[in-house]
Structure 1
């Protein structure tokens, strides 16, 4: 697993749009970001994946998450560091390309700004 930040993920970290900041900005009192359940579901699905892609096992995913959260993404709070570490792992394994990730991020941003 590469310990180098990935361009798209580095830009995400630099924007500092972490849940505590965004919740305060919009007056949301819930301490858990609304996307956390989707992240948990994605992790559960990956843990049970049976496909030809290089999907990490539960132990690999957790080890990579711990390593990346403690090093490359240590400036992010939990659960943002978990989310970005998972994206890093999937990018590094070729499960998703950086271009695909950027397209999906752009689509989400467009929906939020509509």
Structure 2
């Protein structure tokens, strides 16, 4: 896809934030049902190979993480939707 659109750096700018979020989750110490590193990666692998197999990497990683966090009740659909709307508004401003 990067070659198709003439993108020289195929890693999207949000990938760094995603990696940071994953690192923070790996070290989280709270009462929420935060998956361990192994659980998160195992879930990501399964979801990326099945439900989100049509998405390229790293988009599949991002969507798989969101899926897992919603399924565990760490964030709900409404809150995720609101946060995405806030980010979209900021990007379009």
Q: With the length of structure 2 as denominator, give the TM-score of the two structures.
A: 0.93
RMSD, matched Cα: 1.4
1:31 deviates by 1.0
Which has more helix, going by share of residues?
1
Q: Which consecutive residues of structure 2, in runs of 5 or more, have no partner in the other structure?
A: none
Q: Aligned residue for 1:37?
A: 16
**Bigger CA drift: 29-38 or 59-68?**
29-38
Q: Aligned residue for 1:10?
A: none
Distance (Å, rounded) in 2 between the aligned partners of 1:28 and 1:99? 33
1:62 deviates by 0.4
Distance (Å, rounded) in 2 between the aligned partners of 1:51 and 1:87? 18
Instruction: Confirm whether residue 87 of structure 1 aligns to residue 51 of structure 2.
Output: no
Structure 1 runs of 4+ with >4 Å offset: none
- Alignment: residue pair count: 92
Q: With the length of structure 1 as denominator, give the TM-score of the two structures.
A: 0.76
Distance (Å, rounded) in 1 between the aligned partners of 2:31 and 2:60? 27
Distance (Å, rounded) in 2 between the aligned partners of 1:29 and 1:36? 15
Higher RCO, 1 vs 2 (CA within 8 Å, ≥6 residues apart): 1
